[in-house]
Amino acid sequence: MEVDRHFWKREIVWTWTVVGMLVGIVIGRLWQGMCLQPARIRRTLERQGITGPPPSFLRGNAPEMRRITQLYLHLSPTSSSTLSVVVGPSHDWPLGPLLGNGIIRANGPHWALQRKLLSPELYPDKVKGMVGLMMESATTMMETWVERLVESNEEVAEFVVDKELRSFSADFISKACFGSSYSQGKEIFARLEQLQDAIGKPGLIFRLPTLGFLPTKHNKRIRRLQMEIEILILKVINDRQELDEVDAGSKKDLLKGCWKRLVLWQECVHAEILEVSGCDQNCFQDLDTLNKLKTLMMVIQETLRLYTPPIVLAREALENIKLGDLLVPKGTHIWALFRVLHRDPKNWGPDANEFRPERFANGASEACKYPQAYMPFGCGARLCLGHSFAMAELKFILALILSKFSFSLSPAYHHSPVYRMLLSPQHGVKLLMKRF
């Protein structure tokens, strides 16, 4: 019995020693990541004249970042610096359930491999082959709009066009990406939209990452949606594999291989569309024809300048780097605010806040003093892979809509852009549509 007591006593002591060591390692890493490293970065930046609000314990500058985000859309471009330096752990972790380990969040060899696999499927020549699918989805939407106008017995009817266009995009992209399984693809898009809404709340974006495991209502919803999306994606993949085994010759898809001024420019765009198309809407399936719509392209570029979907370009210094005369320490997160970049009067002129598509008459390279500051799809090696895909879709659907309909703002429209992972109209874009 005495031997057993000594044995169990040693086991208990050993167990508590191991537990104490593990707790010490965890605490040490937390202290390093949340206190020592941020303090080192702050000292390096302060020596170079870069200061900011003092961080609070555990939460860092998250409250200040949340305040800036809430005020973001109401700030004057001159009231904020172009670059924001974020000291401490990265705040992209809330995007994990939405983006997974895909190319947007990946780094190093993992990112390089994904880009190598995906980029050939999004080259312009591949996008040309998808225009027929665009026409198929767009025709369905146009027919629905015409029916609604007829049923209303009015010349004009109100449409919430952002909702309609999201539905069009989901339908088209689902067909392009998932082939015959496009209905499953639309279901995935619906879940992704719900997940974006759940994650996109400011209170969740800037919460402590360590609280993500708590069984709160929001955390449960996020985990449930994430699991449902993963199950749907795996089902699509398995179905495609089975289909390919049966029909090796099936066609390829991606899975496999200032508002008032915009309305006033509507007449110019419509005239250009008629001139280029000759009233033949099928010609829009030819990307070369779409590329002739110069005025439409200027409108798109100016809209993307004023209302860029993402609000920040975030980068992390993986090593100590020089940015001009500034030494950026390893671990620093730099946020470039698109609204500041795209509305800076020093770059765009005193009319930087005005909707003037003609500034892009000679292309983005001559639209401003420093064209590198215009980056609606990002820049450099991490330029959005789908930018050609997105631009083709934009030009196609807008050309088709403007060839059939004229529009004006609905009296019920309320201009209130909000940040929900991407810039979105809080109350929808309500337009009065009328057939030509």
Task: Name the 3-class secondary structure at 384.
Answer: coil
Q: Could you give the CA distance from residue 174 to residue 180 in angstroms, rounded to a whole number?
A: 9
What type of residue sits at position 152?
S
Q: Is 170:26 a contact under the CB 8 Å cutoff?
A: no
Dihedrals phi, psi of 337, to nearest 5 degrees: -80, 120
CB atoms within 10 A of CB 426: 12
Q: Could you give the CA distance from residue 351 to residue 355 in angstroms, rounded to a whole number?
A: 8
By the 10 Å C-beta count (0-12 exposed, 13-18 middle, 19+ buried), 71 is classed as exposed
Region of residue 58 (phi > 0: left; psi between -120 and 50: alpha; otherwise: beta): left
Paired residues of 337 in beta bridges: 312
Segment (H or E) for 407: strand 405-409
Region of residue 343 (phi > 0: left; psi between -120 and 50: alpha; otherwise: beta): alpha
Question: Structure tokens of 418?
Answer: 């909000």
Cα torsion 91, 93, 98, 101: sign: positive
Of 398, 330, 420, which Cα lies nearest the Cα of 73? Answer: 420
By the 10 Å C-beta count (0-12 exposed, 13-18 middle, 19+ buried), 184 is classed as middle
Paired residues of 433 in beta bridges: 157, 407
Check the annotation: does 379 bind a ligand: no
Which runs of consecutive H residues, i.e. helices, occur in 61-181? 62-71, 96-99, 108-118, 124-128, 131-152, 161-178
Annotated binding-site ranges for heme: 384
Annotated binding-site ranges: 384
